[in-house]
Amino acid sequence: MKTIDFTKLARPNIRSLKPYEAREIPCKVKLDANESPYSLPADKIFQAKNIINRLNRYPDPEAKKLKKTISKNLKVNTDSILLGNGSDELIYYLITAFGGPVLYPVPTFSMYGIISQACGEKGIEIPLDKGFDLDTDKMLAAVRKYNPKLIFLSSPNNPTGNCFSADRMLKIIEASKGIVVVDEAYQPFSSEKGFLPLLNDYKNLAILRTLSKIGFAALRVGFLIGDPGLIKEVNKVRLPFNLNALSQNIALEAFRRKKLMDSQIKNITSERERLFEELDKITGTSPYPSEANFILFKAKNANAVYQRLIKEGVLIRNLGSAIKDALRVTIGTPEENNFFIKALRKSAGGKK
């Protein structure tokens, strides 16, 4: 049989591409992926009438019911909404539709860079300032120099947890001739009101949201909100039936139980404050304030702490080279958080 070097066969931009790392490490307490520790009881959801009543037909290609529900919830018109198989897919569609250069601050969500490279587009990375805020001068200089088609601002930012200053974001939106996508995956956990209210003021502003962080990561439902003209262009590259029928229908159930979802979010944000104080008390670790469902913290010998935590049955995120000696922990249930803190005291060096 012929031998084929598939790497050589791949396009040059794919040859050097490193895929997104989503490692499955078995553990007692999983606090690595910014998922919610809560959801709706799956058994009750599946008993709910009409979750799915036919398997042989394609799902609603436009997900009309879900769009209508989101439209009511976010108070935006349905023609300003595009649904994706997770917001990841919408990032792919945005870059496919508009191309590059693509500008984003770093460290941030790695998919902006991975998808830019996958699409053969130039990714421009501008370091955040020391306080993890946008470096306005450098960002504006890059806007002038490269005239990016797309700018991604994750606010609250993953993995740093802070929101960027609104006035700095506005300066970038005003200076940009291209589209500025404010990725609000973690907005439900933030004390800031986010950029949705500004959509009518800036035509080049688009917003990304997701159900993944508020209890429904398994569904893969994300939404892009923006000017109907922008949505129309992105919709051209959307794959037919990109949102499966089960996800559409369970997402509807989630919105019907919004009160419960809101109370779960409240639990997470109050646990975040408790976890912050606990982390602050441990010798050798120092947490950064967070507006998201995770906390970034510095730890002496972070690699060793990360490995020891795995041995104790706790999986968190090692940020490796992105931020030196930093680890990221997702907020879990009170019990999970207690388990983590106990294991961390053992792994990092006890109380201060």
Q: Which residues bind ligand PMP (CB under 6 A)?
A: 34, 86-88, 109, 154, 158, 183, 185, 210, 212, 217, 222
Closer residue to ligand PMP in complex, CB, 212/285: 212
| Inter-residue contact 347 to 308 (CB < 8 Å) | yes
Closer residue to ligand PMP in complex, CB, 126/343: 126
* Alpha-carbon span 330 to 337, nearest angstrom: 9
Q: In the bound complex, what is the minimum distance in angstroms from residue 242's beta carbon to ligand PMP?
A: 12
Closer residue to ligand PMP in complex, CB, 183/278: 183
What are the backbone angles phi and psi of residue 340, rounded to the nearest 5°?
A: -65, -50
- Cα angle: 44, vertex 75, 41; to 5 degrees: 10
CA 196 to chain centre: 17
Q: In the bound complex, what is the minimum distance in angstroms from residue 159's beta carbon to ligand PMP?
A: 8
| Inter-residue contact 197 to 163 (CB < 8 Å) | no
Task: Return the structure tokens found at 77.
Answer: 């018109």
Q: In the bound complex, what is the minimum distance in angstroms from residue 184's beta carbon to ligand PMP?
A: 8
Q: In the bound complex, what is the minimum distance in angstroms from residue 339's beta carbon to ligand PMP?
A: 23
Closer residue to ligand PMP in complex, CB, 86/101: 86
Closer residue to ligand PMP in complex, CB, 108/176: 108
Q: In the bound complex, what is the minimum distance in angstroms from residue 186's beta carbon to ligand PMP?
A: 7
Closer residue to ligand PMP in complex, CB, 153/173: 153
* Alpha-carbon span 154 to 160, nearest angstrom: 10
Closer residue to ligand PMP in complex, CB, 81/185: 185
Q: In the bound complex, what is the minimum distance in angstroms from residue 147's beta carbon to ligand PMP?
A: 24
Residues near 265 by Cβ (< 8 Å), separated by ≥ 6?
188, 189, 214
Q: In the bound complex, what is the minimum distance in angstroms from residue 86's beta carbon to ligand PMP?
A: 3
Give buried/exposed letters for 192-212 (b at 16+ CB in 10 A, else e): eebbbebbeebebbbbbbbbb
Strand-pair category, 314-315 with 29-30: parallel
Closer residue to ligand PMP in complex, CB, 89/278: 89
C-alpha separations of 132 from 6, 43, 83, 170, 186 in Å: 40, 42, 30, 17, 16
Indicate the residue whose CB is closest to ligand PMP: 86
Q: In the bound complex, what is the minimum distance in angstroms from residue 158's beta carbon to ligand PMP?
A: 4
* Alpha-carbon span 297 to 160, nearest angstrom: 9
| Inter-residue contact 316 to 340 (CB < 8 Å) | yes
